[in-house]
A and B are shown apart, each in its own frame.
Chain A
Amino acid sequence: MPRKKLTREITTESPPIIENNVETTDTNRLRANLEKIKEHPGVVGYIFRNTSSAAIDLKDPSKIIDYAIISSSALDAAEELSTLFNLGAAKHITVQGKEVKMLATTIGENKLTIFMEKTVDPEKILKKLRI
C-alpha cells in the first residue's frame, strides 16, 4: 500500500519549477515522449529523474526500489567507464537481464531509464525518445 501511494505521488507530482525555459521544454517533451513509450508493446515502465523531480511508472510496483537502484547504478557505471577508458560522453547503457531489458540514458540533466521485455528493440525506444 505505501509503495503504491508513493508511486502515484511521484508520478502525478506537479511539474518542477525550473528557471531555464529551454530545460523545462526539454523535460516536458521527454516526459511526454515517455508517456508515449509506455504504451509501446513490451515496455514495462520507466524511471525519470532530474535534479528537482522524479517520475516512476512501473507495471510492477514491488520492483520500484530494485529498479531504481539498478537504474542509478547503470548510469553511474556508464559515466565511470566512459571516463576510465577515455571514450567521451556516455550516450546510453543497455542492461539485458534474462527477464527484463533496461535502457538508461542521460539527456541534459534528465536521467531516464526504460524497462522493457527482452523482445523489445531498445534502438526503437531510443528513436521514440529523441523525437
Chain B
Amino acid sequence: MIEDEVYSFALKNALTEMKNLCPDVTHSFIFTYDGEIVAGDDTTNNKTMTQVVDSFNGIFEKANSIGGIDTITLQTGKGRIQVYCIDKNLYMLIVASKKADMTYINTVSRVLIPTILKILEKLNPTSLKNIPSPKIEIPKTKPKPKLEKETSIPIETSFSSSEQDVEEKLELEISSETLEPEKPKIEEPLPEELPELPTHQLIVDTIGGLLVRGDTVQIDKEILDEWEQLWEDKEVTEIMIETFNGETVKCKVKPITDSKLKGKGLIRIPEKLRRKLDIKKGELVRITPVIELGEGE
C-alpha cells in the first residue's frame, strides 16, 4: 500500500513538473492497461480520468487485433490528445492545446516519465525497507544474523532434497531435522516449555488482483491446523518467510482458498511481496510460524 502511494506521489509530481515545463499541456495522467489510474497531474480530477479510461475501453478490448496499443492520437479543432505506452502495461495520456509543440512535449514526456519509472523501480524496494510498515516487517537487525547463519549452509542441501520431496509428493514436511544441527548457533535458545518452531519449505506461487492484500500470504490449511495443534489450539496468524538469499519477512497468513491449489505445497505470495523478497515463481522458501507468546522474547 505504501509503495503504491510512493509510486503514485512520485509520478504525480513528475506529471506536474512536466506540465510546468510544457504549459501547453492541459491534462496528463497515467493508467494501466486494465484501466486502473496510477497517477494524475494536479489539474485532472479522478472523475475525468475515469471517464477517459472508460472511453478507451472498447479500443483496448480489441487491441490484440492490431497487436496491442502503442499510441493513440486524437486531433481535434482546438488541440490534441495523445496516449502512448510508457511501459509494458502503463499508458500515459496528454491533452495539449492546438499551439502546443508536440515534438517538444513528446521529447520531455517520453524521457522524463520512463526515467522516473525506472528510478522508482530501482529505488522503491530499498526505500520501502526504510519505511516502517505496520503490516509487513522486514527484520534487519536481530533476527537476520540468526537466519543467515541458519540459511547459509544447510538450506542449500535441504533445498535439493526438498525439491525431490516436492516432486514425489508435494506434501509438506517439518524440516526440523535440518535445523537441529544449527541450534547451537542460535544465541538465544527458545524456552524449553515451548515446542520447537516447525519449518516448512514451500513452492512460491503468486497472487494477483485488486482485492489481494499485499501483506497476507496463503498456505495450506493443513499446515495451519498442524501448528494449531502444536500450540494447543492457538491460532497462527503470522509467519516468517525466509528465502535462500537470506531475505526474511514477517507477514500475515491465511489458508489457500483456491481448491485447485490446495495440498500442492504452495505458498501464494502477493506479487509486490514477491518482488520485495526478490524471489521467482517456482522457487522454494522456508516458513516458520510466528507465535506471540514466548518466541524470541
Contacts and interface: CB of A to CB of B under 8 A. Distances in A.
Contacts of B164: none
B55 interface: yes
Nearest to A94: B73
B71 interface: yes
Contact of A85 (B27, B64, B72): B27
Given A67-B65, A81-B52, A100-B66, A91 B58 contact: no
Nearest to A87: B76
B95 A87 contact: yes
B81 A97 contact: no
A115 B67 CA distance: 13
A93 B62 contact: no
A12 interface: no
Contact of A76 (B51, B55, B66, B76): B55
B266 to A, nearest CB: 34
A80 B225 CA distance: 55
A77 B58 contact: yes
B69 interface: yes
Contacts of A96: 69-73
Interface of A: 63, 66-67, 69-70, 72-74, 76-78, 80-82, 84-102, 115
20 contacts: A66-B65, A69-B61, A70-B58, A73-B58, A73-B62, A74-B59, A77-B74, A78-B74, A78-B76, A81-B81, A84-B51, A84-B55, A85-B95, A87-B81, A87-B95, A88-B76, A88-B77, A88-B78, A94-B72, A96-B71
